[in-house]
Amino acid sequence: MKNTVFTGAGVAIITPMNNDGSINYSGFADNIEYQIQNGTDAIIVCGTTGEASTMTDEEHIECIRFCVEKVNKRVPVIAGTGSNDTRYAIELSKVAEEKGADGLLLVTPYYNKATQKGLIAHFTAIADAVNIPVILYNIPGRTGGVSFAMDTYKTLAKHKNIVAVKEASGNISYTSKLIAECGDMLDVYSGNDDIIVPMMSIGAKGVISVLSNIMPKETHEISRLCLDGDFSKASELQLKYLELINNLFIEVNPIPVKEAMNLMNMPSGSCRLPLCEMTDKNREILKNSMKQAALI
C-alpha cells in the first residue's frame, strides 16, 4: 500500500491576475491563506484552473515556489507539471520537486494524442525522474479524448512514485472498475465537483475541486462527511450546491469561477486570452445561483 498524498478536498486554485495581465502575487497569498483558514486539505497549483497553459516557464516555476513558501507545510502542495512533451514535463517536474512541492499532477498528453504504450512510457519516464508522489490526471474532455485503458492503469500503478489518479471523465462505471481493480495501488480523487459524493461512496479519497475556490469550508465538509461514512448529510450538501456547481462550468473553466471570485471581491481578475469574459447572460445565471448560495 502506498502513502496517500491527502484525503478530503484539495483546491485547484486559480491564479489571480492584475489589470495588466501579470500575476497578482499579493492576491495569490491572500487566496492561499483563505483556503488554509477554511479547512482546505491540499492546494493544487498551476493546474487547469490555475491557467498554467498560458504561463511562461518562469511564471510557472515562480507560482509553484511562491505557493510552497506561503503554505509552509501546513497542507500538501501539488504542482501541475504535465505536458504533451515528455522532456519538458520531466524538466518542470524536477524543478517543482526542487522548489518543495509535495506531489505532482500530470495530465495525459494533449494534441499529439499518445497511444496506451506511449502513455506508459511518458508517465514512467517522468515518475523515474523524481522522488515525490505522482497523481495521474485523466480528463479526456480536454485532451482530445485521450484516456487511460484499465491495463495502462494497472501497469503504471506498479511504479513506486505513481500513487493516485484525478479522475475527471465523469464516468462512474469506469471509476468503479478502476477502484475495484487498482484501488489497493492507486488512490482516486474526483475531478468533478458535481459527483463528489458518488465518487467517494465507491472509494475515492476526496476531490480536486474548483468549487473550493469560493466555498472551501463547504467542500471540505462534503468530503469529511463522506470519509466519516455519513453519506446522507454529504448528499444533502452536494445537492444543495449542485446548481452553483453546474454554473461554475456554464462556460469553460476557469472563466466562471474567476468571475464568481470577482463578484465576491476576492483576488481574481480576468483570465488570460484565449479565455475571455463571460457573456452577460451567463454572468446573470451565475450571480443568481451565488445569491441562492448566500455568497453575494
In this structure, what C-alpha cell is assigned to residue 242? 449542485
CA–CA separation, 274 vs 54, rounded Å?
9
Q: Please confirm, yes or no, whether 137 is among the known catalytic residues.
A: yes
Please state whether beta strands 77-80 and 42-45 pair in parallel, antiparallel, or not at all (unpaired).
parallel
Compute the residue count for the chain. Answer: 296
Write down the H helix ranges in 5-115.
Answer: 25-37, 57-71, 86-98
Q: Are 260 and 214 in contact (CB under 8 A)?
A: yes
202 class by beta-carbon count within 10 Å (0-12 exposed, 13-18 middle, 19+ buried):
middle
B/e letters for 41-59, b = 16+ CB within 10 Å, e = fewer, are bbbbbbbbbbbbbbbeeeb
Q: Which of 137, 153, 189, 241 is catalytic?
A: 137
Helix (H) or strand (E) holding 242: helix 242-247
Q: Which of 70, 99, 153, 166 is catalytic?
A: 166
CA–CA separation, 284 vs 281, rounded Å?
5
Q: Are 229 and 220 in contact (CB under 8 A)?
A: no
* Residues sharing a CB contact under 8 Å with residue 120, sequence separation 6 or more, in sequence order: 152, 155, 156
Alpha carbon separation from 38 to 75, 151, 216 (Å, rounded): 12, 39, 6
Q: State the catalytic residues.
A: 137, 166
